[in-house]
Structures are given as structure tokens and as C-alpha cells.
């Protein structure tokens, strides 16, 4: 298809409650939305999952906006015809920028699939029509508050609880929740908060029968993760370290991880995500789909990905109400611990333009 117009819009969406991790506290989501229009007038949507500041990743909203405007969009516009499958090759000369690249690829893919009248779920090859829901629980002010929040999610029917941890908020917090819920699937996420010297301390988590510990060390410390995996019985899962198929292959070969968290934004898009999934499926490596506090646009696409057969662990595909009082799409609702995979054409949802206009901070339109 030929790109006719690309709209870059920044919106500001408040969270229903502060979300604290080892790298900071979020009270709202600043989201870079991408809208592409092709020569047929067909529109495709995507969101860039970068945060406002480069804390989780080197990428951040304004940086992604600049990268798209200066380099990525001109490269795409230089092609007479472009398909989603072409995007990774066209953008490969530009180093990094996986989140920005993923957003452009997804918007183009959405428009492409809408023209073809097929759903993203069908395109990816999904095998399920609903996905088990997990929920990510931020660091609380105290154990009582943590217990109350977790109880609300358990009562709602979430099938897996993930606790954010950091030094000083780990063993006791996990022990407390495990004592309340001895059987519920439970995992922890450190977001790189620990060092190699913390191996013995982290091994204390083994007694709590966790599904996994996610990204305990720096994203570049593959050797450290391999060493940690030798002293813990809890499986080590990598998140920030996985930015491509090759990085996943390296981490698995070096035994730095035994479970992969696949985040499309972090690996450059859904096409690369499927490659990682297929590689892991062929080797019986469990994978799951992590979340980045996505709006309904990103959540819809993640649900399609998480319905692939290799996604055997509940991911972070929570109901819309987990993070937002009002979402920019029709809200995704959880029923008996599951959310249905969208089956409409493209990603299966469109934004509420009137509401989105009310929370828009800036809009730029780039014509062909």
C-alpha cells in the first residue's frame, strides 16, 4: 500500500491508582498514538509503549516522536509501496528505537489487514478465542495496603498475581501474600533492581513456590542472570534484556533464562514477537505477554498475540478497568478470569475520537 498521511498524537490518560515500580511511580500514561491513512482512505492505529521518561527503557515519548519525524517516517515515505512485512527491513539501518518502530509497523499492519478484511488474530495464527488474565501489582505503602489490593484482584477473578519488588520490599511482601493465598499462581518482577551480590538474598524467594522471578538484574547482565539461575530454583525470566529474536536465542543458549516475556514494543513489533514465539515453541520454552499499561489499542493487539499456542502462562493482559477509569476504546472486560480476543478486522478496535480529542496534548500530521 501507499502511505498518504501519518498522524502523531500525544494523549494524557490518568490511572485509576498510582503504579509504583523499582524505577518510579506513574499516576498517568502519556501515550504517543499513531494513525496511518493509505491511498484507499483506510486507517490503521497503534500506540507507542514508551514511557514519558527513559527509566524502563532508553526510549521515551518525545524521543520516539523525534525519531519518527526525523528518520523513520521519511524512510517509510520514500517507498512507493510499503507493507508491514517490509517495515523491519526499511527501518533496520536506524539503530535501536524498537518501540517507535513497533508502533509504525503495527499501524501499517492494522490498515493493511483492514483492507484485506482479516483480523490480526487470524493473521498471526492464533489458536484461542480468549486469554487468561494476570495482573501486575505495584509496590505498596505497607503490607496491609498490598493485601487489600491483591484481594481486590483475586476477588475479581484474575488467574495470576505479579508483585513488583525492590530491595527492602521483597521477601516479606511475598511471604505475606503467599500466606494469604497459598495456591494462587504468583510471580515477582524486579525491573533490574538487584545486583549479582544479591543472589543469596533472592534465593530466599524459592520457598514461596513462585512461577518465576522477572528481570532481577541489569538488562545487559546476561552472565549475571545465568549465574543467578544456578543458585535459585525459582525460574529466571527475562524482560528488558529481550529486544529481538537473537537476544532471546543468546539468553536461552547461555541459560540466563528459562522463560521469556515477549513485549511487542520492546522487540520491534508483532512480526518479531511471532518469531520469538515460534523459536520458543519449537523448544518447549514457555512465553507470556507482558504489559506496558497499554490503552485499548495496544491491549487489543496484545490479546491477539497472547492467543498463540506457545503463550502458556497468563500475561499482563488485564481488563481496561485495572488501569483506566475510561479507556480510549470500548473497554476490555474480564469474565471468569479471561478476556476475549478481538475478532474484528485489523486489531479489532478503534478509538473513541471524541474522548481522545479531550485528552490530547498535541497532534502533528505528516502528508506524503
Helices 222-231/245-253 angle, 10° precision: 40
CA distance 277 to 261: 10
The CA-atom distances, in angstroms, between 317 and each of 130, 216, 228 are 11, 22, 28
Alpha helices, DSSP H only, in 78-190?
87-91, 98-116, 120-124, 143-156, 171-180
- In Å, how far from its chain's centre is CA 119? 20
- In Å, how far from its chain's centre is CA 363? 24
Return all residues near 2 (Cβ < 8 A) that are at least 6 apart. 38, 39, 80, 81, 82, 368
* Order of strands across the sheet that contains 160-164: 134-137, 160-164, 186-189, 213-214, 236-238, 259-262, 287-289
Summarize the chain as % helix, strand, coil (round to 5): 40, 25, 35
Is 164 catalytic? The answer is: yes
**Positive or negative: CA dihedral 263, 267, 273, 276:** negative
CA distance 354 to 152: 32
Is 263 catalytic? The answer is: yes
Return all residues near 3 (Cβ < 8 A) that are at least 6 apart. 36, 37, 38, 76, 77, 82, 108, 368
Cβ burial, residue 130 (10 Å; 0-12/13-18/19+) = middle
The catalytic position among 35, 128, 164, 275 is 164
Q: Which helix (H) or strand (E) holds 53?
A: none
The catalytic position among 130, 263, 275, 325 is 263
CA distance 34 to 45: 6
The CA-atom distances, in angstroms, between 295 and each of 81, 338, 363 are 30, 18, 18
Q: Which residues are known catalytic residues? A: 164, 263
Amino acid at each position: 500500500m501507499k502511505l498518504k498521511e501519518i498522524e502523531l498524537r500525544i494523549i494524557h490518560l490518568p490511572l485509576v491508582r498510582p503504579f509504583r515500580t523499582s524505577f518510579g511511580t506513574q499516576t498517568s500514561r502519556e501515550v504517543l498514538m499513531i494513525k496511518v491513512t493509505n491511498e484507499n482512505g483506510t486507517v490503521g492505529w497503534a500506540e507507542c509503549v514508551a514511557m514519558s521518561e527513559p527509566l524502563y527503557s532508553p526510549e521515551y515519548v518525545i524521543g520516539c516522536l523525534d525519531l519518527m519525524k526525523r528518520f523513520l517516517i521519511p524512510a517509510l515515505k520514500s517507498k512507493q509501496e510499503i507493507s508491514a512485512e517490509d517495515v523491519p527491513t526499511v527501518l533496520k539501518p536506524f539503530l535501536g528505537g524498537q518501540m517507535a518502530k513497533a508502533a509504525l509497523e503495527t499501524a501499517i499492519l492494522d490498515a493493511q489487514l483492514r483492507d484485506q478484511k482479516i483480523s490480526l488474530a487470524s493473521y498471526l495464527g492464533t489458536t484461542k478465542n480468549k486469554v487468561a488474565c494476570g495482573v501486575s501489582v505495584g509496590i505498596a505503602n505497607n503490607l496491609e495496603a498490598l493485601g487489600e489490593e491483591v484481594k481486590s484482584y483475586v476477588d475479581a477473578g484474575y488467574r495470576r498475581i505479579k508483585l513488583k519488588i525492590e530491595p527492602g520490599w521483597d521477601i516479606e511482601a511475598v511471604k505475606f501474600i503467599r500466606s494469604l493465598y497459598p495456591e494462587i499462581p504468583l510471580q515477582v518482577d524486579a525491573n533490574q533492581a538487584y545486583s549479582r551480590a544479591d543472589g543469596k538474598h533472592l534465593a530466599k524467594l524459592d520457598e514461596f513456590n513462585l512461577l518465576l522471578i522477572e528481570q532481577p538484574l541489569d538488562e545487559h547482565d546476561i552472565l549475571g542472570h545465568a549465574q543467578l539461575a544456578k543458585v535459585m530454583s525459582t525460574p529466571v525470566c527475562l524482560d528488558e534484556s529481550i529486544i529481538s529474536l537473537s537476544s532471546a536465542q543468546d539468553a536461552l543458549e547461555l541459560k540466563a533464562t528459562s522463560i521469556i516475556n515477549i513485549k511487542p514494543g520492546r522487540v520491534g513489533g508483532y512480526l518479531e514477537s511471532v518469531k520469538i514465539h515460534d523459536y520458543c515453541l519449537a523448544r518447549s520454552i514457555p512465553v507470556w505477554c507482558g504489559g506496558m499499561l497499554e490503552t485499548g489499542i495496544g491491549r487489543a493487539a496484545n490479546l491477539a498475540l497472547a492467543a498463540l499456542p506457545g503463550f502458556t502462562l497468563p500475561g499482563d493482559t488485564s481488563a481496561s478497568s485495572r488501569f483506566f477509569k475510561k479507556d480510549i476504546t470500548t473497554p476490555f472486560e474480564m469474565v471468569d478470569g479471561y478476556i476475549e480476543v478481538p475478532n474484528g478486522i485489523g486489531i479489532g478496535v478503534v478509538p473513541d475520537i471524541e474522548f481522545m480529542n479531550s485528552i490530547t496534548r498535541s497532534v502533528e500530521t505528516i502528508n506524503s
